[in-house]
Amino acid sequence: MRVRVTTSALGLTAATILALPACTTGTTGTTETKPASAPSARGEKPATAPLPSAALEARLLNASDLGTGYTRKPERPAQQDDVTVLGCPTLSDLGGDAATGGSLDFPRKAKVTFTYAGGSNSEVSEELYSDTASKLSGGTGRIFDAMTGCPKYQVLVGGTAIDVTTQEVAAPQLGDEQWSQLLTFSAGGRDTLVKQTAIRDGNVLLIVSGSPALVNLHLDKAHTKATVPR
């Protein structure tokens, strides 16, 4: 499968996560081994209209929310690379959706990325999306299932081959649905460990990605700010 992929968006794709700098494997703390949870038993919230991007922007974390040592990272211009997925039939079957973030490319969205001076090349990124609950649920679940369904595969980004391993891990019981995974990217003798956790709360989808320690540290406050009515 060969597609064109925009590598400036983080999304839920192997190719875009590769833009994150390396994170040491020693910062993960206790390894989670339980599978990501199914929809919460507490029930769904009443259906509401999707939020506009401006409202989502106001719900993003800022540097003062995170504490000292964090600097907002400027958005990079969109770049496009040829991406080929090898050794993962489920991702290949999804075609462009899996390679480019697909169903996560909702028109109502906001994103911010921070670098952390207290760690070696550590970053944490937050994305917010809004749409109907069914669209958010279906798009997120489909891509997470495809990625974690292949414990090992390879992606070719331009002329670079990257080996990818995935591990589904437990997500905190927040919101209505939760997904979480650890991904290790290996290229040129360098390993990059990334954690991604997604929380759907009603018509809002929160994705926090980056250094596992930073994702664990800031997920709760990101969820609280993203779901408080304004």
Q: What is the pLDDT of residue 70?
A: 94
Q: What is the pLDDT of residue 89?
A: 84
Q: Give the model confidence (pLDDT) of 29-52 as tens digits.
A: 333 333 344 444 445 566 678 999
Q: What is the CATH number of domain 2-227?
A: 3.40.1000.70
pTM listed for this prediction: 0.79
Q: Where are the domains of the chain?
A: 2-227
Enter the tokens of residue 158: 């331009």
Q: Which residue did the predictor score with more confidence, 158 or 207?
A: 207
Instruction: For residue 3, list its beta bridge partners.
Output: 83
Task: State the average pLDDT for the chain.
Answer: 77
Q: Residue 35: name the closest of 131, 152, 141 by CA.
A: 141
Alpha-carbon distance 145 to 36, whole Å? 10
